[in-house]
Amino acid sequence: MNHILEDLIEKTGLDLDANSIDSLQKEKEVQLLSSINIHKVAHLFTNPESYFFRSLAHLELVKKMSTEKTRIWFAGCSTGQEVYSASLMLSSISDKTLVGTDLSSKYIERALSGSFFVFRKSEIKSFEKYKLLPQCHLSTNKNKKSVDVKFSSIKREGILFDTHNLMDGPYSEGFDIVFCRNVLLHMTTSGAKKALASLKDGVKIGGLLIPGDTDPNIFEDNWERKKHNNVIFWKKKW
Ligand SMILES: C[S@@+](CC[C@H](N)C(=O)[O-])C[C@H]1O[C@@H](n2cnc3c(N)ncnc32)[C@H](O)[C@@H]1O
């Protein structure tokens, strides 16, 4: 394995192979592998797939568990769809903070733009429910098969986006809920272990961790496994 690849796997925790860094080599970004620049090149080797109201049962659990002043961290949020989905679903909850973080600065810039082209039928249908909310403006395109969605008042809705590497510990501590889906499955065993430790450290005592379906179990006395409507999640007891 070449040292660039080894270095990248170490720095991101991702299960990369020579093909996944092909574009990076082509872009001659290889010398930019300091921890600062990893954010700038991460879009060249990460999978950004995300869409609105993905993991709906998990987002419904977030809604059920949220109260006034709830602080939620969406780790590995890509271009922000899960954060905006939660913000619509939690619109009646005041003083909430929804923090979305990702390794890639390009994805975070897109998230901050608040502008999305939505074409999946299921997403368009879900948006119908929220079309009267002032923070989300929908305009149907001429072919009626897609919708442009623009979110405004991001700050007023308590939404914040930032770059963050899960290999560097938690974004911050004391979150009521930490939500991280479809991220650890792209990592090596040791990368996923490190990322999981960061997620756990982000949760406050009494708070919840909602990971991906294939993410490792937590076999620690201070964590309780919980299940609600087939959603597995973890409560930090102390
Ligand atoms: C497939 S997307 C999932 C997006 C979203 N959570 C969802 O389920 O729709 C995986 C995201 O994890 C991010 N990611 C990968 N490694 C990361 C790391 N070490 N720290 C933070 N984010 C990471 C990628 O940049 C990518 O945006």
> pLDDT tens digits for 49-79?
999 999 999 999 999 999 999 999 999 999 9
Q: Residue 88: which H helix or E strand, with range?
A: helix 81-89
Half-sphere exposure of 170 (CA within 13 A, CB side): 19
Pocket test residue of 54, 79, 103, 161 for ligand 1, highest count of atoms within 8 A of CB: 103
CATH superfamily, domain at 56-236: Vaccinia Virus protein VP39 (3.40.50.150)
Q: Residue 76 Cα, ligand 1 centroid: separation in angstroms?
A: 4
- State the chain's mean pLDDT as an integer: 93
% of the chain exceeding 70 in pLDDT: 95
Query: Tokens representing 170?
Result: 């938690």
109 vs 34: CA distance, rounded Å:
20
For the cut 70, the answer to whether the pLDDT of residue 94 exceeds it is yes
For the cut 70, the answer to whether the pLDDT of residue 33 exceeds it is no
Lowest mean pLDDT of 8-22, 169-183, 185-199, name the range: 8-22
Q: Residue 5 Cα, ligand 1 centroid: separation in angstroms?
A: 19
The pLDDT confidence band at residue 153, using thresholds 50, 70 and 90, is confident
Pocket test residue of 102, 171, 185, 198 for ligand 1, highest count of atoms within 8 A of CB: 102
Every domain of the chain and the residues it spans:
3-44, 56-236
Report the pLDDT value the prediction gives residue 144, as an integer from 0 to 100. 79
- Cα torsion through 68, 171, 202, 200, rounded to 10: 140
Report the pLDDT value the prediction gives residue 35, as an integer from 0 to 100. 56
Q: Residue 183 Cα, ligand 1 centroid: separation in angstroms?
A: 5
CB-based contact 231:210 (threshold 8 Å)? yes
63 vs 90: CA distance, rounded Å:
6
Average pLDDT for 202-228: 96
What angle, 0 to 180 degrees and rounded to 10, lies between the N-to-C axes of helices 81-89 and 56-65?
50
Say if residue 205 is exposed, middle or buried (CB neighbours under 10 Å; 0-12, 13-18, 19+). Answer: exposed
Average pLDDT for 15-39: 74
192 vs 176: CA distance, rounded Å:
22
Tell me the pTM. Answer: 0.96
